[in-house]
Structure 1
Amino acid sequence: MERPQFIRFSAEKGQVQSYGLISGAGVIDLKPRFANRWPTLDAVIADNALTALAAEAKNLPVDYALTDIQFEMPLEQPGKILCIGVNYPNRNAEYKDGQSAPDYPSMFVRFPESLTGHQQPLLRPAESEQLDYEGEVVMVIGKSGRRIPESEALNHIAAITLGNEGTVRDWVRHSKFNVTQGKNFYRSGAIGPWLVPFTEAAQIADIRLTTHVNGELRQDDRTCNMTFSFRWIIAYISTFIPLNPGDIIFTGTPTGAGARFEPPVWLKPGDVIEVHAEGIGTLRNHVKDEV
């Protein structure tokens, strides 16, 4: 059974800014119908009400064809955007530093302006040609918590989606312990295409995650192979900072990014990147030069 798919979108040449529910080849516009309770998709997440809204909205008529809308980032004003690094088999070996797998993950943050939505262009900056892709499963938090035990961690997830954690490789090496610059170029990454309500562990426990570039399979792994599980990540992060509704967690990428080829293969204008995961969907973006 296909799970509900919630989007933020614009339509009518930007005159409409709304959120909705995918229905076949169309979109049910939810904002006019539910604005009193949930004026934005962010508000639905804050209430952890995606499942309830899906039940209320599933039989409503379609308002727009998918061809008549533009996908936007699923959340208009996300909270913290937290990213886990080196979280799949062979990723640690890629660094060729002789070190064993770490006991704790590498972590960094992204800012909202560094991301864009489904079918939107990823921007290759003028400062570098080393734009790379990283396909990931992404969690959206729907329930606040601090020092969340692993046994309760999944109860704090409101939705799951996908991310292309676009990275400007030479800029992540500007200093010894800091990757922030290379992870935050304007609209260098993406998130979407939609939010799928999270209802059970099986949705993410063992699903295939792939990344294709121009139709070529580049990354291919399963979430059951993650070094640090979804439960563990939530418990770990919430130890040092509270997690709140609207916080976003990128959970790590498999081996196979362009930087690991010999020689490296960087993204160039016109390239199409598709990040796919079972039960979630496909996040698709193309590359263009920033002007």
Structure 2
Amino acid sequence: MRIVQFEKGSVHGIAADDGSGWHGLTEGERGFPGTLPDLIAQGTDLLRAGRDLLRTHVIDLNAVRILPPVPKPPKIICVGLNYDDHLEESGLKKPVYPEIFARFATSLIAHGEPILFPPESPTLDYEAELAVVIGNGGRRISRDKALDHVAGYSLFNDATIRDFQLRTPQWTMGKNFDGTGSFGPWLVTADALPPGAHGLRIQGRLNGRVMQDTSTDRLIFDVATLVELISVAISLEPGDVIITGTPGGVGAARKPPVFMKPGDVFEVEIEGIGVLSNPVQRET
């Protein structure tokens, strides 16, 4: 089941698709179940909610504004250096523990919205990634129970200002420029994918050219392991998002480097989830 959050005018809406087309409701209509973040926070069975939505109005996604699945997550926890080919191109050793850093909600944009090219730097890079949305919170979650805490999966472009990222050992500044964290277009419920979204082809394409191409079975730390290890220290909450890392092929590692620029379009595609597409626009 795919579930999308949208706005029509200034009114929030939610729709679902099981392959038969999008059906949904807007806030104020009879039967409106709440926004997707509300449903996740309340522990609602998303598959059941989606089935209920399938009995409602047809929704044309081209006529509404798609929002990130969770526009203001309690936490956005990112993982660096989580594919062997990205490690190799970065010249770094395989980690024995995940490289964890944070993103903030002020950096998030939706499918179709522009990634902002800032005036301070020309080194705007792309990173195609699998996003994991937490449904059931918890602390010290065991690996064998970890996937029970996942509500679903989405797509993410962890666009990065490389020179700001590498100015210090901590990556926070380069990973949090406004308008650089593309998230969406929708959430795919966990039941619709292999456990842990394992074995799915992931691609990143710049203006149609394939720049990144691998499978999620190449993750060094898989989804269940990430949930287990992160929750040792940090209480996971419903609506938290874990960004699982990018494959090799990033622009900074190419010779010569290839960075995104105004007028470009970058797409992230993951098998079974969909395509996240964003133009690049100069920030004014």
Q: Shorter-normalised TM-score: what interval?
A: over 0.9
What's the TM-score, normalizing by structure 2?
0.94
67, 72, 78: which one aligns with 1:72:
67
CA distance in 2, matches of 1:117, 1:172: 23
Q: How does 1:138-153 map to 2 (within 5 A)?
A: 138-153=131-146
CA distance in 1, matches of 2:95, 2:119: 35
Which range moves more in the overlay, 45-54 or 118-127? 45-54
120, 128, 151: which one aligns with 2:121:
128
Q: What CA deviation, in whole Å up to 9, does each residue of 1:214-258 have, x standing for no partner? A: 110000111111110111000000000111100000001100011
Look up the match of 1:206.
Answer: 199
Q: What CA deviation, in whole Å up to 9, does each residue of 1:87-137 have, x standing for no partner? A: 1122222222xx531101111100111110011110011111111110001
1:275 is displaced (CA, Å) by 0.4
Q: Which runs of 5+ in 1 are unaligned?
A: none
4, 7, 14: which one aligns with 1:10:
7
Confirm or deny: 8 A CA contact 2:22 2:54 kept in the other structure: no
Look up the match of 1:89.
Answer: 84
Look up the match of 2:37.
Answer: 42
What's the TM-score, normalizing by structure 1?
0.91
1:26 is displaced (CA, Å) by 4.7
Look up the match of 2:106.
Answer: 113
CA distance in 1, matches of 2:280, 2:193: 34
1:24 is displaced (CA, Å) by 5.5
17, 21, 27: which one aligns with 2:16:
21
Look up the match of 1:250.
Answer: 243
1:28 is displaced (CA, Å) by 1.9
CA distance in 2, matches of 1:74, 1:221: 24
Root mean square deviation of aligned Cα: 1.6
CA distance in 2, matches of 1:100, 1:66: 44
Residue 234 of structure 2 corresponds to residue 238 of structure 1: no
Look up the match of 1:60.
Answer: 56
Q: Which runs of 5+ in 2 are unaligned?
A: none
Confirm or deny: 8 A CA contact 1:136 1:250 kept in the other structure: yes
Confirm or deny: 8 A CA contact 2:25 2:56 kept in the other structure: no
Confirm or deny: 8 A CA contact 1:123 1:289 kept in the other structure: yes
Report the count of equivalent residues: 280
Distance 1:75 1:214, change over 3 A: same
Sequence identity, in percent?
38
- SS of aligned partner of 2:227: helix
Confirm or deny: 8 A CA contact 2:193 2:272 kept in the other structure: no
Distance 1:230 1:26, change over 3 A: closer
1:73 is displaced (CA, Å) by 1.3
CA distance in 1, matches of 2:21, 2:144: 38
Look up the match of 2:152.
Answer: 159
Confirm or deny: 8 A CA contact 1:153 1:231 kept in the other structure: yes
